[in-house]
Structure 1
Amino acid sequence: MTRPRILVVGAGFAGVECVRRLERKLSPDEADVTLVTPFAYQLYLPLLPQVASGVLTPQSIAVSLRRSKKYRTRIIPGGAIGVDLKSKVCVIRTITDEIVNEPYDYIVLAPGSITRTFDIPGLTDHAFGMKTLAEAAYIRDHVISQLDLADASQDPAERASRLQFVVVGGGYAGTETAACLQRLTHAAVKRYPRLDPGLIKWHLIDIAPKLMPELGDKLGSSAQEILRRRGIDISLGTSIAKAGPEEVTFTDGRVVPTRTLIWTAGVVASPLIATLGAETVKGRLAVASEMNLPGDDGVFALGDSAAVPDLAKGDGAMCPPTAQHALRQGRHVADNVIASLRGQAMKPYVHKDLGLVVDLGGTDAVSKPLGIELRGLPAQAVARGYHWSALRTNVAKTRVMTNWLLNAIAGDDFVRTGFQARKAARLKDFEYTDAYLTPEQVRERVEGASRPE
């Protein structure tokens, strides 16, 4: 008899935790495990703003999936672009654009999320995202190049536009991105004697009435005060109406000359979920508390793309798309897959949120571990301690700690690597959202492959 085939889609927190647990708890002859991911690393997403600001190197938060020789999972380098639940086939586009059909007996869907965008003129053509390692590295180069170009320019209008930066999104990603990059430009401008530091202006805007409302009024106000003290202009109840190559128009009518628009206004589930033709909740796949898809044997979903009931909160709440939940869901769903494989009862997922941490760079931070509100150095110690402990390997922990120590002792560096220097790259160029199939195309593809020649 052939071994059952377990296919895991996505190498984020959820997918990798699931794969590692399956490998530890299943014997080699019990099942074959396959992982679909375009990159052979797990990205520690919460530290991306520190990569963009140069505090951390890209390699330090990209944990290789191939470091250990004992792991036996087969990795398909590509992205899932459709799933046929009836035929139990996943359609995959490899990194060489080859389309392959991968059959499975059990599938774990953890494709994560993509940047949420709106129908705003010029947005996808002129905005940067902060969702991938490539985007973080690109933004760092771009921001430093704006200082270089402003320093070389003789045109006051060009200087002004290159030295203004707009970040949209007052959640954790946007707030930490604005905070970290503002510190970078503040330190870098000292190396540009021809530039007036007063010309550098960072704008953080959000349509919500509060910054990071999950933190509560007091900590949210503290974070806001820290950023304003640094000179970051915060506009709440505001978004952008139009984006152009050299200016951005806010919804309140202001026109800001800028060459840098960073869009971090939330995320939505991967478009892969729409290819299933199954029930969704705000775009996320509706699953039971055991993280299985009701009515479809052998289908599980978790992480940002799944609407997992939050039993700890109750009242119909869904688990938020955080790394904290994804890590634990990954381990739990692996146990449920094994239970299903062995004919045992599956268990519902329950986890009480441990709290929130926000690293604003330097000694500035706000944290709320287990409901305790912290600010300044204690909050920074908690924030970095949490991130450090969550890194999966000792190599990653050593790299991150070394980077932090080096940055604290030697300060920032302002090296521009030239990553895609001659080619503009914006939101639409990094997330490949046009690669997915419709449910009809998936069925046609699978049925066509199964017909005899």
Structure 2
Amino acid sequence: MSRSRIVIVGAGFAGYRAARTLSRKFRGSAEIVLVNPNDYFLYVPLLPEVSAGVLEPRRVSVSLAGTLRGVRLVLGEVDGVDLGARKITYVDPEGSAGELRYDRLVLTVGSVNKLLPIPGVAEHAHGFRGMPEALYLRDHITRQIAMAASSEDPAESDARCTFVVVGAGYTGTEVAAHGKLFTDSLAKQHRRAGNGLRGDRLPRWLLLDIAPRVLPELDRRLSRTAHRVLAKRGVEIRTGMSVKEATKEGVLLDDGEFVSTQSLIWCVGVRPDPLVEETGLPSEKGRLCVDEYLQVPGHPEVYACGDAAAVPDLTRPGEYTPMTGQHAVRQGKTVAHNVAASYGYGERRPYKHNDLGFTVDLGGLQAAANPLGVPLAGPLANAVMRAYHLAALPGNRVRVAADWLLDAVLPRQAVQLGLVRSWSVPLESSSPELARSPSGSGARGGRGTPGAGSARGPRSGD
């Protein structure tokens, strides 16, 4: 076999696993190229711990060059796929255009923040999909508590101490759980320093969702556990509720209540990367249509998996696999086997997987889990959750475990560096993994939503 080129677009759960599996199968007999905007794989499930100051950013950022032996890394954002010429075009971090020809193409471009047509949300809310957004939120939370502690205006102090999370799914629940512990800790530190907030009042967190319960997509037992822990901690859970309008001063809820706040955190879900629709290939609700072998019909040289692909769920005929990391990892492994099979290395296999259960990190020693359907809560669930994450991490395990240990015995560090500004992480970004530059570039050149970079200018103190 002549040296063939296999191009993988995206280094998320699916792309990373596909690259790792292919490199082991071919061992240099094929050129494996991974195109990604960053030089790291982001372990998204631990991102809420970054925003709450439990983990340092590099702990959940696994080096691609350091862990993918035999894989050529190309830094860039893919902005076009030419199926006829079998090539992709991309823009590198310095704005230069490039192209790569391929013999096999694996699209694992993932997902971006899901938007809803609610007035003011695009201008005043921030998502939670990438490292820049997590770093911005950590700085923002720290800054708001500090400014609330120094304010002489009770109304301003209350607004800065109020945080609204929209979306009580997996991400929103974990962000609210960790965020409440983080802000309570910050408030106590300011009181000890003599800056104190009024009385012994703790910061206010609201978790909203139009669904009838938190974690609506997961087992009801996990939902009940999460609800109980959050409510006991002081998080106000508003189900059957959402935001009607967002302004600079706060948010208007569906029931007419206006909540004064400077913090609107958007976790309503995700949508497939816009690159999928730009390929012109058949799609299902924005996800690229593939068969059970993860191949694109009519283009046997093109494969897709992860959040960007509508993969038939063979365990539930007529449905597609959910957009979860658990499926993405296993699809990445399957697509690698099938790409290798197309060169005569083994037999191709259909993708089929039953969920093994989920874990939900509720901060501190609290968690909810149902490994293999067994419901767990509290410290035991927390131990299962942390063991799962350490096993799933492709690197940095010792560093993550060390950070967890330090967080258990030392006070939380409470400083804001101000490196990621509000305008650099717009909600309407097709590339949440990249912070936007002052010129408006840095998010696939503005591809996706026109003017997204200028929708929100720098604000005082932000």
Q: Give the TM-score normalised by structure 1.
A: 0.92
2:135 alignment counterpart: 137
Contact residue 91 and residue 444 of structure 2 kept, 8 A: no
1:388 aligned to which of 371, 383, 390: 390
1:450 alignment counterpart: none
CA gap of 1:263–1:422, structure 2 versus 1, over 3 A, is closer
1:31 alignment counterpart: 30
1:54 alignment counterpart: 53
Q: Secondary structure at the match of 1:63?
A: strand
Aligned counterparts of 2:66 and 2:27: Cα–Cα separation in 1: 21
2:215 alignment counterpart: 212
Q: Secondary structure at the match of 1:355?
A: coil
Contact residue 115 and residue 428 of structure 2 kept, 8 A: no
Contact residue 135 and residue 420 of structure 2 kept, 8 A: no
1:287 alignment counterpart: 290
CA gap of 1:121–1:433, structure 2 versus 1, over 3 A, is farther
**Offset at residue 426 of structure 1 (A):** 3.4
Contact residue 53 and residue 184 of structure 1 kept, 8 A: yes
CA gap of 1:336–1:360, structure 2 versus 1, over 3 A, is same
What is the CA RMSD across the aligned residues, in angstroms? 1.9
Equivalent residues in 2 for 1:81-92, closer than 5 Å: 81-92=79-90
- Which amino acid in 2 is paired with 1:50? E
Aligned counterparts of 2:9 and 2:219: Cα–Cα separation in 1: 35
2:438 alignment counterpart: none
Q: Secondary structure at the match of 1:242?
A: strand
Contact residue 132 and residue 420 of structure 2 kept, 8 A: no
- Which amino acid in 1 is paired with 2:375? E
Cα deviation digits, residues 49-75 of structure 1 (max 9, x gap): 00000111100000001225x722221
Aligned counterparts of 2:37 and 2:242: Cα–Cα separation in 1: 33
**Offset at residue 44 of structure 1 (A):** 0.3
CA gap of 1:84–1:422, structure 2 versus 1, over 3 A, is closer
1:319 alignment counterpart: 321
1:66 alignment counterpart: 65
Cα deviation digits, residues 276-313 of structure 1 (max 9, x gap): 111111111111111011111210000010111121x2
Q: Secondary structure at the match of 1:137?
A: helix
**Are 1:332 and 2:331 an aligned pair?**
no
1:80 aligned to which of 78, 91, 99: 78
1:186 alignment counterpart: 184
Equivalent residues in 2 for 1:1-16, closer than 5 Å: 3-16=3-16
Equivalent residues in 2 for 1:52-451, closer than 5 Å: 52-68=51-67, 71-193=69-191, 194-196=196-198, 197-198=200-201, 200-311=203-314, 313-342=315-344, 345-393=347-395, 396-420=396-420, 425-428=425-428, 431=432, 432=443, 435-436=446-447
Cα deviation digits, residues 381-440 of structure 1 (max 9, x gap): 1111111110002xx1001100001101113221212223586643236633774489xx
Once the two structures are overlaid, the 10-residue window that deviates more, 246-255 or 209-218, is 209-218
Cα deviation digits, residues 301-357 of structure 1 (max 9, x gap): 00010111121x222221111111111111111110011122864210111111010
CA gap of 1:378–1:357, structure 2 versus 1, over 3 A, is same
Aligned counterparts of 2:371 and 2:208: Cα–Cα separation in 1: 26
Aligned counterparts of 1:434 and 1:241: Cα–Cα separation in 2: 31
**Offset at residue 130 of structure 1 (A):** 0.9
Aligned counterparts of 1:156 and 1:343: Cα–Cα separation in 2: 69
Once the two structures are overlaid, the 10-residue window that deviates more, 424-433 or 56-65, is 424-433
2:440 alignment counterpart: none
Aligned counterparts of 1:264 and 1:372: Cα–Cα separation in 2: 27
**Offset at residue 134 of structure 1 (A):** 1.3
Aligned counterparts of 1:46 and 1:258: Cα–Cα separation in 2: 27
Aligned counterparts of 1:22 and 1:276: Cα–Cα separation in 2: 24
Q: Secondary structure at the match of 1:39?
A: coil
**Offset at residue 83 of structure 1 (A):** 1.2
**Offset at residue 87 of structure 1 (A):** 2.0
Contact residue 169 and residue 268 of structure 2 kept, 8 A: yes
Q: Structure 2, unaligned stretches of length 5 or more? A: 433-442, 450-462
User: How many residues are matched?
Assistant: 433
- Which amino acid in 2 is paired with 1:39? N
**Offset at residue 215 of structure 1 (A):** 3.1
Aligned counterparts of 1:31 and 1:435: Cα–Cα separation in 2: 34
Q: Secondary structure at the match of 1:80?
A: strand
- Which amino acid in 2 is paired with 1:376? G
**Offset at residue 80 of structure 1 (A):** 1.1
CA gap of 1:67–1:188, structure 2 versus 1, over 3 A, is same
Q: Secondary structure at the match of 2:373?
A: coil
Aligned counterparts of 1:73 and 1:389: Cα–Cα separation in 2: 23
Q: Percent identity?
A: 42
